[in-house]
Amino acid sequence: MLCREFESVFEQSEGTQLPAAAATHLKDCHACRAMAADFEAIRAAALELNQDFTEEPPAYIWQNLRAQLAAEGVIRQPETGGTGWLAGLLGWTHRPALVATYAMLGVFAIAVIWQNPPQRASMEAYVLPAEALATQKDLGSFETQAVSQLHPATSEVDASLRRNLDIVDKFIALCEKNVREEPQNEEARQYLYSAYQQKAELLTTAMERDWTGE
């Protein structure tokens, strides 16, 4: 075997055992043996280079990356503005408004479970339960804030959000009517509860559109 032939075989046998003819050539040829030994020395030094490298990329890379991805709308940038204790409390989430609304609705749900419908039904036959009224009021103020952040009617997404809000409002009105008429009806309460949830999600979407600058 010639050195040129050996080198071709050697090149492609990387990581596997050399064929017998190539192994014989390697044993007999000083130049090819020197090449193989040098390659091994280079490889050993290269492995050490990897072990030596313990540097992490600097932290500012991740800050830039987050800002860039948020600007492109790939991720949502968490709100960093100081809105007091609530921002601090909800700082762990990317959707603080949604969490706040769900917490509010959670309190409402617990209150509904603890109330005694048969007793109250006689007194509140034609009005909503107090807890539902409180939720309705909270959602109303949340709505004022969210709708004020919607863009002019030129935005298709905002127009769609407004349309959906109208639909949910009509559904809520219907559910509230049913609950007023049958306060002891658990199914009617559930419908009202899920309608409030839908509205809270829509309002959250409206607010987040403003945060993400879309």
Partner 1 sequence: MHSRRVYALCLRMVGRTAEAEDLTQEAFLQLFRKIATFRGESAFSTWLHRLAVNVVLMRLRKKTIAESSLEETTEPDEESGGPRRDFGSADPLLSGSVDRINLQRAIHRLPPGYRAVFELHDIQGYEHNEIAGIMGCSIGNSKSQLHKARTRLRELLHEAERDRARDARQAAKTEVAGGED
Q: Are 173 and 70 in contact (CB under 8 A)?
A: no
DSSP 75: S
The DSSP secondary structure of 49-62, one letter per residue, reads HHHH--PPPPTHHH
Q: Are 188 and 178 in contact (CB under 8 A)?
A: yes
The CA distance from 151 to 158, in Å, is 6
Question: Closer to partner 1 at the Cβ: 21 or 37?
Answer: 37
For 150, residues 6+ apart whose C-beta sits below 8 A from its C-beta are 158, 161, 162, 206, 209
Positions that interact with partner 1 (CB under 8 A): 2-4, 7, 10-12, 14-15, 30-31, 34-35, 37-39, 41-50, 52-58, 61, 64-65, 68-69, 72, 74-75
Least distance (Å) between residue 61 CB and partner 1: 5
Least distance (Å) between residue 163 CB and partner 1: 29
Question: Closer to partner 1 at the Cβ: 66 or 151?
Answer: 66
Question: Closer to partner 1 at the Cβ: 29 or 174?
Answer: 29
Question: Closer to partner 1 at the Cβ: 31 or 153?
Answer: 31
Q: Which two structure tokens, joined as six digits, stand for 116?
A: 């005694």
Least distance (Å) between residue 65 CB and partner 1: 6
Least distance (Å) between residue 3 CB and partner 1: 4
Least distance (Å) between residue 20 CB and partner 1: 20
Least distance (Å) between residue 161 CB and partner 1: 25
The CA distance from 176 to 159, in Å, is 26
DSSP 110: H
Task: Give me the residue label for tokens 């193989």.
Answer: 36
Note the Cα 158 to chain centre separation in Å. 22
Question: Closer to partner 1 at the Cβ: 28 or 48?
Answer: 48
Question: Closer to partner 1 at the Cβ: 20 or 45?
Answer: 45
Closest CA relative to residue 112, chosen from 171, 170, 183, 182: 183
